[in-house]
A = this chain, B = another copy of it.
Amino acid sequence: MSKKTKKKDLKKSVVKAKAKVKAVKSVKKPVAKKAAPASAGKAKKGKYVYSWGDGRADGDGSMKALLGGKGANLAEMTRIGLPVPPGFTISTEVCTYFYDHGKQYPKELQGQIEDAVKKMEKSLGTTFGSTTNPLLVAVRSGARDSMPGMMDTILNLGLNDETVKGLVAVSKNERFAYDCYRRFIQMYGDVVMGVQKREGEDHDPFEATIEDVKKQLLGNAHAEDTALDAEGLKTLIARFKKLVKERTGKEFPNNPWDQLKGAVGAVFGSWMNERAIIYRRKYNIPTEWGTAVNVQAMVFGNTGDDSGSGVAFTRDPATGEKVFYGEFLINAQGEDVVAGVRTPEPVAKLQVKMPQPFRDLEAVRATLEKHFREMQDFEFTIQNGKLFMLQTRNGKRTGVAAVRIAVEMVKEKLITPEEAVLRVAPDSLSQLLTPIFDVAARKSATVIATGLPAGPGAATGKIYFNANEAEAAEARGEKVLLVRNETSPEDIRGMLAAEGILTARGGVSSHAALVARQMGKVCVCGAAALSINYDSQILTVDGKTYKKGDFLSIDGTTGEVYAGELKTAPSEIIQVLIAKTLKPEQSVTYQNYALLLKWADKYRKLAIRTNADQPDQVVNAVAFGAQGIGLTRTEHMFFEGDRIDAVREMILADNKADRETAVAKLLPYQREDFVGIFKSLQGLPATIRFLDPPLHEFLPHTETQQKELATKLGVSAEAVAKRVNDLHEFNPMLGHRGCRLGIVYPEISEMQARAVFEAAAQVQKSGIKVKPEIMIPLVGFPKELELQAALVREVAAKVIKETGVKIAFTIGTMIEIPRAAVVADEIAKTAEFFSFGTNDLTQTTLGMSRDDSGSFLPAYQAEEIIKRNPFATIDTAGVGEVIKIAIEKGRKTRPDIKMGICGEHGGDPDSVKFCHKVGLAYVSCSPFRVPIARLAAGQAALEELNAAKKKK
């Protein structure tokens, strides 16, 4: 057994003492169980501390910005009469103040804390620092959005050599009291005083001290912790204090008030630790929100077998099914459940083991859902048979569950369809499109283990046993499964890099499960058959070994773990819509999905188009609800088959006549491309962008390839090399591309126009309506568009005359360089539509090359110079402003001009919402993002309606 696992086992040991702790009295019966009205509690200037207890609270559930999610909901639960141990919240304003004032506090704070502690003392009949009946507290962070496990927590605060005697007195259990005390010193020493493993040390210094004491007193460093009796623990406590003094030069603080001050500072300090920063970056949580600090009276789930701790969800967070879902550990503290160190039991088993607490819990579950009208994720502790609520929050869930819960809550009349639409994060829909294992492949595969299904979907990949190696492998292009005994916040980067996560321990609410679901990663946890040796990097299951780099496959919907690389199959939605291997009525998931999108579509103002270059892509996109093509990149077809030869011949031509000959060879290919696209669109419109990339992208760059090409074309290799060299550009992004090609080589635009119109005529003759929209790229000067539009119209007139088929078409342009935006009024004289090319517009507006920004963007996000990757989500303050300028100017000239976007941003929910806000007509995105864009667009419209209602 490796040192690391041993350490974990050590932690597992549960304090067995059945202390009859009187510290926490029963909470009073609530006055009223009604929902709190919006800002029932009040934020006041100069008020930094908000108390709750005895059915009353200064704050309420609406005050998450000020009190953090945990603090606001503790207040809310108190208000609605749930059994919450009393306490108080230090508001997020203090966190902001703390960082703005060189880590100082507002002067009013100390007095307010003292008052709040007095209230707790009064409520519980205990006294902070009392040597006879001491008040002990837990100090926890609590940000506006939950950041599970990201920040520090300190339990059992208030103990010292004197007060511990009080705890002994009231609990009548000396060992329990001293165990609490040694745990407190260990946590506080680590978190607040920074006594941690140093470079070159193998062990955490506290753990090393424990082993040392055990060796000294028991003659065995590896004996169970429980073997240490109260006297042993006293020895250990003395050694811990010595350790702290040695390492920090300071005495461990005896005064509970000093302890409290230190703990509060540590929580605020943890807001800026690396883990928290990475987490915020991933989830776009602004630093300035800050965290609150919650100080709450301790309750103990570890006083014996009539005690315990658990975490539960009001519905299944993986599937969304309406079942009581959760788990608990008898005789354990809450942290043990979340840490995933011991695998807990399903919450249903509580019914047998503790019938009354279970009934109380069921009642709480019902109250919570009815009150919050959302699926809740809550923590509870049972102390000597009595239930206490420690937290509730909206439960994180998979995309599948999100859709199901939203739809079923509508059916239960708990929420409205509008609320359902707003409840589902659009990005999470991508989980519904995630592949599942191929049925045949699954049948012939070997299940080597089964764990808990914690993040749905099918994942296959090479196994790695630590986050760094997983990250490195992913960077090499490998598909990765991260395999761990359990995960901790340090593993976040590895989890991000992995296709899926597999753990040997921990339940469905363990860190691994929670984080995986949020990331939309496939996850199987608590697969107890797995035995992992981190040292030898070998996984053993049932006598068989799998080493680092071997393939495994996991099914996050069933919990099964397979040997080898399994073939995946499309999700149910894909099977219904695309593969047609399932009928709608065979899939509940599909039905929920369809209903939700139907509601979204009802409100949606934006049309959703797709970026597609090939007929099959078009068919998929239309199945997902695309209302046409927003971007066809005509050059994507240039690489297929022989046609690249004609393209290269065109580029190598050194005069117009030769170029025309080569271009003529391309015409039939392009026509055929467009015929396919028009047919698959079945009457929907298609925006067709003319040749955009610089010509050198089509030429071969190695000497060998150049020679081959020269032979093929019957020219010298030198001529080819020279042309490649001539076409080299220092900044291709800003070079000879877009309409600049069509201006210098009008014969290329002519060919493309002819291909479009000939194809249109042919398809229209077959009875399918065709709506081509010719899009000229990279326009910056009005005359560029004028010239290209004149050319297109001329070709159109010719083809219409030649074929006798009347084709309705429009001509527009991409707005993708800032100049186009500032002269949009002039451009709109010719352009019948604008399509914002937000990729290039971002590059030029920010002066930032997407391909090169990797060298500084990470530093920029770390420093919060740029909060979100501007190539993923529209930079509204910069690029967004430029877009607004173009919209305003374009409309001035042509009030009914059609405008949309066709950059990568078209499938990003926040960018879609921006597009709605600024009044675009459509967004265009890749086929698989169409459902996401539909939902985001529906939400945008609803958010606008709600904001308008609020104003009234």
In contact, A848 and B734 (Cβ under 8 angstroms): yes
Tell me, rounded to whole Å, the shortest Cβ–Cβ distance linking A890 to chain B.
14
In contact, B744 and A852 (Cβ under 8 angstroms): no
In contact, A881 and B736 (Cβ under 8 angstroms): no
A919 proximal to B (CB < 8 A):
no
Return chain B residues, CB-CB under 8 Å to A784. 865
Return chain B residues, CB-CB under 8 Å to A727. 855
Which residue on chain B has the smallest CB distance to residue A840?
B847
A447 proximal to B (CB < 8 A):
no
Return chain B residues, CB-CB under 8 Å to A3. none
A578 proximal to B (CB < 8 A):
no
Which residue on chain B has the smallest CB distance to residue A745?
B859
Known: A743-B865, A863-B743. A882 touches B734 (CB 8 A): no
A731 proximal to B (CB < 8 A):
yes
Known: A729-B849, A817-B847. A822 touches B878 (CB 8 A): yes
Q: How long is the Cα–Cα vector from A727 to B865 in the complex, in angstroms? A: 22
List residues 729-754 of chain A with CB under 8 A from any CB of chain B.
Answer: 729-736, 740, 743-744
| Residue count of chain A within 8 Å CB distance of chain B | 51
In contact, A875 and B735 (Cβ under 8 angstroms): no
Name the contact of A845 in the complex, choosing from B783, B844, B852 (C-beta under 8 A): B844
A787 proximal to B (CB < 8 A):
yes
Q: How long is the Cα–Cα vector from A81 to B57 in the complex, in angstroms? A: 103
In contact, A875 and B744 (Cβ under 8 angstroms): no
A780 proximal to B (CB < 8 A):
yes
A823 proximal to B (CB < 8 A):
yes
Q: How long is the Cα–Cα vector from A531 to B785 in the complex, in angstroms? A: 53
A819 proximal to B (CB < 8 A):
yes
In contact, B823 and A735 (Cβ under 8 angstroms): no
Q: How long is the Cα–Cα vector from A787 to B848 in the complex, in angstroms? A: 19
In contact, B823 and A881 (Cβ under 8 angstroms): yes
Q: How long is the Cα–Cα vector from A504 to B483 in the complex, in angstroms? A: 89
Q: How long is the Cα–Cα vector from A887 to B852 in the complex, in angstroms? A: 30
Return chain B residues, CB-CB under 8 Å to A819. 845-847, 875, 878-879
In contact, A882 and B731 (Cβ under 8 angstroms): no
Name the contact of A735 in the complex, choosing from B732, B780, B855, B864 (C-beta under 8 A): B855
Q: How long is the Cα–Cα vector from A859 to B784 in the complex, in angstroms? A: 11
A288 proximal to B (CB < 8 A):
no
A851 proximal to B (CB < 8 A):
yes
In contact, A865 and B734 (Cβ under 8 angstroms): no
In contact, B882 and A822 (Cβ under 8 angstroms): yes
Tell me, rounded to whole Å, the shortest Cβ–Cβ distance linking A748 to chain B.
13
A866 proximal to B (CB < 8 A):
yes
In contact, B735 and A781 (Cβ under 8 angstroms): no
A645 proximal to B (CB < 8 A):
no
Return chain B residues, CB-CB under 8 Å to A817. 845-847
Tell me, rounded to whole Å, the shortest Cβ–Cβ distance linking A280 to chain B.
16
A379 proximal to B (CB < 8 A):
no
A159 proximal to B (CB < 8 A):
no
Name the contact of A731 in the complex, choosing from B743, B744, B818, B852 (C-beta under 8 A): B852
Return chain B residues, CB-CB under 8 Å to A878. 780-781, 818-819, 822-823
- List 7 additional A-B contacts (Cβ < 8 Å) besides A781-B878, A783-B864, A822-B881: A729-B851, A729-B852, A733-B847, A778-B847, A780-B847, A781-B865, A844-B847
Pick 29 A–B contacts, CB within 8 A, sort by A: A730-B732, A731-B731, A731-B734, A733-B733, A733-B847, A734-B848, A734-B852, A735-B853, A736-B852, A743-B859, A743-B860, A743-B863, A744-B859, A780-B846, A781-B865, A781-B878, A783-B864, A783-B865, A816-B847, A817-B847, A819-B875, A819-B878, A819-B879, A822-B845, A822-B882, A823-B881, A826-B877, A844-B847, A885-B885
Instruction: Kindly list the 5 A-B residue pairs having the minimum CB-CB distance in the complex, ordered from nearest.
Output: A817-B847, A734-B849, A819-B878, A731-B849, A735-B852
